[in-house]
A and B are shown apart, each in its own frame.
Chain A
């Protein structure tokens, strides 16, 4: 692969005696929407946390745009975690000011526009918001950046179908063609039409990596490919 945005070589990570990522190597192509698929506990979140610089004690090499995860790569990466990480006393306006302070690629006007579109009161404190509202707010902040790499951990997890389409709409309409988007999900069906490339993980390994084109050429959907890769084990893994 020529000039990938993410390069991982021989990555191994364990939590105590539990091996989560076992000597994995992969490359994420630049400028594509990449699906990171796999069952719960297969190491997707750990991989994303390593890429975004939240986990440091691992062995192997991880490069983001040619740099090890650190201050430089964090400036190029927008990360949507599965946690709500903003202080409870923040208002949306505080969050926008905060992101504007630290990320030069953050577009405040876009953030305000998306906030209004989602019907969130910019002066409402986070502690009075529902979990779904907070997640959408974080999504707005992430998508208001013009990052080179977007890393999204289960953006559709625990979201009702109506909200899911809103989230998907925000993601698709606001990500630029030059950016790379790595999205982890096990709701394969909702996102498979959008993916350019998929990485399927299982038991701490990359079981499949490839473009969507050849999968579709075989007359298969991504979901079918996913099931094929997992075989009989996919339902119980």
Chain B
């Protein structure tokens, strides 16, 4: 049943984001045409368009996928969603997976567009510029290319958890805003509950990091380590390595699980479809 839910939720969300993806495709096509036709002004316009569209893609995707949750659960379509023979956690997990996938796709599109725009403008000198910058990194007081890439991988993993906790915060806020007596505040309530849950998670993350620091260390030889000692972080940075703190990730995982369970409970036991 979960697979069918995800399939249908992905399809429904795709309807909301298809226009902005189409715009991105058009911008890419326009860039290609201008490149072959060698139209200078067109190149500038197409590049600006691509950057604007790629940024809009993230915003539109977040608004559309999370809006889809609200419409599908608490709008008229809730009459269909809540009469399906599916338990609350399954329903919620499907919507979490759907929103997560679409948001990640939008980020990937932005990175792809940035990469495309870079090569578009730099042309044949693009690879040599990358090489030159990577050679300059140590002189700029930054870790070497290999260390930097490994560090970026860990930052990306942190980003993944950040997206998940963000989605669960929004789902929780939208659901709570549809439960009595919290529904009394209407749409404003969902904004308030989102910022409340977001603020609590941020506060707990920062408190936890002060209480018990944990970090992954990327040594200068690209080997990995793990530490709970703040001194080790300073030392590894001085030795040309890098570090990524992990405490925040633990708190985010716990927060996401708690918010997910609470939201599923509210869906199964408290929701009134209007």
Identify the closest chain B residue to A95 (Cβ). B80
A-B pair number, CB within 8 angstroms: 63
Which residues of the partner chain B approach A103 to less than 8 Å between Cβ atoms? 85
> Which B126-173 residues have C-beta < 8 A from chain A?
none
> Which A60-83 residues have C-beta < 8 A from chain B?
70-72, 74-75, 77, 79, 81, 83
Question: What band does the interface of chain B fall in when counting residues whose beta carbon is under 8 Å from A?
Answer: 20 to 34
Flag whether B207 is at the interface (Cβ < 8 A): no
Assembly CA distance A33 to B88 (angstroms): 31
Identify the closest chain B residue to A55 (Cβ). B272
Number of residues in A with C-beta < 8 Å to the partner? 26
Instruction: Find out whether the CB atom of A85 lies under 8 angstroms from the CB atom of B79.
Output: yes
Assembly CA distance A155 to B270 (angstroms): 27
> Which B77-100 residues have C-beta < 8 A from chain A?
77-80, 82-87
Instruction: Find out whether the CB atom of B268 lies under 8 angstroms from the CB atom of A56.
Output: yes
Instruction: Find out whether the CB atom of B85 lies under 8 angstroms from the CB atom of A55.
Output: no
Instruction: Find out whether the CB atom of A74 lies under 8 angstroms from the CB atom of B83.
Output: yes
> Which B83-129 residues have C-beta < 8 A from chain A?
83-87
- Name A's interface SS: loop
Closest Cβ of chain B to A96, distance in Å, is 13
Flag whether B210 is at the interface (Cβ < 8 A): no
Instruction: Find out whether the CB atom of B76 lies under 8 angstroms from the CB atom of A56.
Output: no
Assembly CA distance A71 to B78 (angstroms): 15
Flag whether A184 is at the interface (Cβ < 8 A): no
Which residues of the partner chain B approach A52 to less than 8 Å between Cβ atoms? 83
Instruction: Find out whether the CB atom of B268 lies under 8 angstroms from the CB atom of A54.
Output: no
Closest Cβ of chain A to B16, distance in Å, is 10
Which residues of the partner chain B approach A85 to less than 8 Å between Cβ atoms? 76-80
Assembly CA distance A87 to B77 (angstroms): 7
Which residues of the partner chain B approach A54 to less than 8 Å between Cβ atoms? 78-79, 82-83, 272-273
Instruction: Find out whether the CB atom of A102 lies under 8 angstroms from the CB atom of B1.
Output: yes
Instruction: Find out whether the CB atom of A71 lies under 8 angstroms from the CB atom of B8.
Output: no
Which residues of the partner chain B approach A89 to less than 8 Å between Cβ atoms? 15
- Contacts A/B (CB < 8 Å), 17 sampled: A49-B272, A54-B82, A54-B272, A54-B273, A55-B273, A56-B270, A56-B271, A72-B85, A74-B84, A74-B85, A79-B79, A81-B79, A85-B79, A86-B80, A87-B77, A101-B8, A102-B86
